[in-house]
Structure 1
Amino acid sequence: MKEVMTFKAGKFIFCDQYDRPRIEKLLVEASTLNSAISDLPILPKWSSQIDPELLYSSIASTAAIEGNSLDANEVRELDEGKIPEAGHTAKDRLEITNLIGAYRAIETLRTKPVPLIFSETHIKELHKHITFDLTYNGNIPGIYRNGEVRVGDKAHGGEYRPPKIIEDIEMLMREFIDWMNSDELINEHVFVRAALAHYHFSLIHPFWDGNGRVARLLEALLLQSAGIRYVPKMLSNYYYRHVDDYYRAFSETIRAKKDVTPFLEFNLRGVIESLQQMKNRIADFIRVLAMRDYLHFLVSNKAISKRQNDLLTLLLDDTSGKPFTLHDLQSALPYSMLYRKVSEMTARRDLKNLLERKLLTVDSDNRYSLNLRGFDS
């Protein structure tokens, strides 16, 4: 822990004190999941599907926390040079364009050195990327503020007033950088170090605008530099989905003063949730490969027909996972390519066989879905 006496704002505390048993239990779970994911094989085509999806959803989420209206699909459109449908302001679109540039900028910083030693230059450059050409009140890209701001509200644990004069902010940012690069913090688990960077940068709140986005990017940068995959981008989605708890975790930690357990606990639950989601997703990719092999075995042994195999292959190729009905088989593409020339009775027999082999499931509305776990039983 580090205490700094400011010129005007009183004592500022850089705190790394937390409930060790409580947090270490979560760290063990997060580390175990991270190791499990690291050991799973990732084909290039899977990465080419996952990585852009995570990038666009992360950008949409971190911007939405600050009130931006574009969703992940519209972020992708903007990145591809298309203009999303009307209803978004030029400011919203520019915020997203800037974030795309900022996320790609941190990719160039993520590998060396490990652990990452970062500087005020890194932070100011991220802020420039995020706020370039945007007319936020008083904000100058890459320049610290000199004046009062208020953060939070009563609904989320109360209002917080960060240090307001530039002399305090400049001093605290120097102390923040020194502390984050100290042996004490570098020897912390990377999940803890990244969360502490996120929290304390937000406390200082050095810019007029864009502080939340910079804080989340700093956290992502530290995690990426340690070789953590997926989580750096997925955490913004977690924060957005649980935005009320996100603000409360800040407020509770501010009130605790010398205990960062509330924010660390909230953060680590997000890490664990993100890792579990990705573990399940990669496992499903592997199951798709295994099922394709299993279908080849079933066709070779005449346990299913070629048409039944083609239907299952269509479902394996459909990443949406949308369920279908008996009627869809003969009337909706792509299923009708297989079933428009056969009778309804034949279609029913196909579905019955695939249900009995647990390759399909059916719900109470008679909608069928692929069962990726069917060949386990």
Structure 2
Amino acid sequence: MKKNNYHPPYTITPAIVHLVARVSEAVGRLVVLTDQSRALRLRRINRIRTIRGSLAIEGNTLSEAQITAIVEGKRVIAPPREIQEVRNALVAYDRFAQWNPEGAADLLEAHRILMAGLLDEPGAYRRGSVGVMAGGEVIHLAPPADRVLGLMTDLFRWLAASEEHPLITSSVFHYEFEFIHPFADGNGRMGRLWQSLILTRWKPLFADIPVESLVHEHQADYYQALQKSTDQTDSAPFIEFMLRMILDAVSTATPQVALQVTPQVKRLLQVLQGEMTREALQNALDLQDRKSFRERYLKPSLAEELIEMTIQDKPNSRLQHYRLTDKGQQWLHDCVGE
């Protein structure tokens, strides 16, 4: 295999290190607190927000309500091209789990799906010159078409070999992709899609985190970060911007478990140290009524999976003890001090 000496220019700044740590902590919290049923309820909502955000950056005017109607097969009165963009995006995100972020063939297939019916040659690298316009001004002239294949090959090889954190490699890839602008159209939505794919291979929950929605809310800053990175020949400004967007997206996606916890459950979690018997817990809570303890304290804590039994298959064992789950420990860490 040909050795790849290509390395995109970027600097790991203290801000980047700090943001990576904060995102990683927030992701860990989200993994602990999000159970399967909550994830399923959130998935469709976030998928619609993701599609709306990414397409809105490119000028699509459809609202979340209209996109929801398209998902449900209802008739929507809107420009045909915008409806086609939404339908293409829905198909693309349904294929998300099948694609390898290090595979050029998968990238081309994703572009073919995203741009079907919108471009003469979807799924093929461009054959002509392209530039990024701001008003009537060219703010970025992409490399010549005859260099695209080589540049993309180098970029994929770097991605496959890089030992950087996925939060960094995904952001670098995103910037370099936009700089190369490998397609005649659809580069913005493809760059954002591929960053999400790289992140999803790191943590699957990123398939349902609407980062694109926040990028849309900060669209001017997005383009400014791209331009600043190009001017500096260093993608650090863009990396920092994307990490802030990812942190905000993950933080706002965290389920608010504290709102569902009763004062009785809160007290139980606070007194539970290590592994404790029912009698020890009742004594710690200064409770005499066994039935009240079971119904108001113990059962709700078990139902919310904030505590667990040490002997799962024998609930009534005289040797039974109770302990905090990871979810319960995280709840204490995040919510008790509020």
The two structures have a TM-score, normalised by structure 2, of: 0.72
Q: Alignment partner for residue 25 of structure 1, among 11, 18, 22?
A: 18
CA contact (8 A) 1:63 1:213 kept: yes
Q: Alignment partner for residue 222 of structure 1, among 198, 203, 207?
A: 198
Which residue is 1:193 aligned to? 169
Which residue is 1:370 aligned to? none
Which residue is 2:238 aligned to? 263
Q: Aligned with 2:191: secondary structure?
A: helix
* 1:42 and 2:25 aligned: no
Which residue is 2:66 aligned to? 74
CA contact (8 A) 2:171 2:239 kept: yes
The change in CA–CA distance for 1:231 and 1:243 in structure 2 (over 3 A counts) is farther
The change in CA–CA distance for 1:230 and 1:73 in structure 2 (over 3 A counts) is farther
Deviation at 1:117, TM superposition (A): 5.6
* 1:14 and 2:8 aligned: yes
Q: Alignment partner for residue 244 of structure 1, among 220, 227, 246?
A: 220
Residues of 2 paired with 1:57 and 1:66: CA distance? 15
CA contact (8 A) 1:220 1:232 kept: no
Q: Aligned with 2:210: secondary structure?
A: helix
CA contact (8 A) 1:202 1:211 kept: yes
Deviation at 1:48, TM superposition (A): 2.4
Letter in 1 for 2:111: H
Which residue is 1:359 aligned to? none
Residues of 2 paired with 1:292 and 1:197: CA distance? 49
Residues of 2 paired with 1:121 and 1:195: CA distance? 21
Cα deviations by residue, 1:105-145 (Å, 9 ceiling, x for unpaired): 11233xxxxxx6621101100100101122x4xx4111111
Cα deviations by residue, 1:251-278 (Å, 9 ceiling, x for unpaired): 0000011x22100110111111112112
Q: Alignment partner for residue 174 of structure 1, among 131, 140, 153?
A: 153
The change in CA–CA distance for 1:128 and 1:221 in structure 2 (over 3 A counts) is same
Residues of 2 paired with 1:63 and 1:106: CA distance? 17
Which residue is 2:299 aligned to? none
Cα RMSD of the aligned pairs, angstroms, is 2.6
Range with bigger deviation, 234-243 or 116-125: 116-125
Deviation at 1:376, TM superposition (A): 9.6
Letter in 1 for 2:183: F
Which residue is 2:269 aligned to? none
Letter in 1 for 2:128: G
Deviation at 1:218, TM superposition (A): 0.5
Q: Alignment partner for residue 65 of structure 1, among 43, 53, 57?
A: 57
Letter in 1 for 2:54: T
Which residue is 1:202 aligned to? 178
* 1:118 and 2:102 aligned: yes
Structure showing greater relative contact order (alpha-carbon pairs closer than 8 Å, 6 or more residues apart) = 2
Stretches of structure 1 that go unaligned for 5 or more consecutive residues are 5-12, 110-115, 295-374
Deviation at 1:83, TM superposition (A): 1.6
Residues of 2 paired with 1:197 and 1:55: CA distance? 22
Q: Alignment partner for residue 132 of structure 1, among 116, 131, 142?
A: 116
Which residue is 2:291 aligned to? none
Deviation at 1:104, TM superposition (A): 0.9
The change in CA–CA distance for 1:117 and 1:211 in structure 2 (over 3 A counts) is closer
Q: Alignment partner for residue 45 of structure 2, among 48, 53, 73?
A: 53
Q: Aligned with 1:140: secondary structure?
A: coil
CA contact (8 A) 2:197 2:207 kept: no
- Identity over aligned residues, as a percent? 24
The change in CA–CA distance for 1:232 and 1:252 in structure 2 (over 3 A counts) is farther
CA contact (8 A) 1:219 1:232 kept: no
The two structures have a TM-score, normalised by structure 1, of: 0.65
Stretches of structure 2 that go unaligned for 5 or more consecutive residues are 267-335
The change in CA–CA distance for 1:202 and 1:262 in structure 2 (over 3 A counts) is same
CA contact (8 A) 2:46 2:208 kept: no
CA contact (8 A) 1:34 1:228 kept: no
Range with bigger deviation, 214-223 or 117-126: 117-126
Cα deviations by residue, 1:167-224 (Å, 9 ceiling, x for unpaired): 2111111111111111xx2x11111111111111111111111111111111111111
Residues of 2 paired with 1:90 and 1:292: CA distance? 55
Residues of 2 paired with 1:71 and 1:211: CA distance? 22
Deviation at 1:35, TM superposition (A): 1.3
Letter in 2 for 1:243: Q
* 1:108 and 2:87 aligned: no
Residues of 1 paired with 2:66 and 2:231: CA distance? 38
Residues of 2 paired with 1:43 and 1:232: CA distance? 13
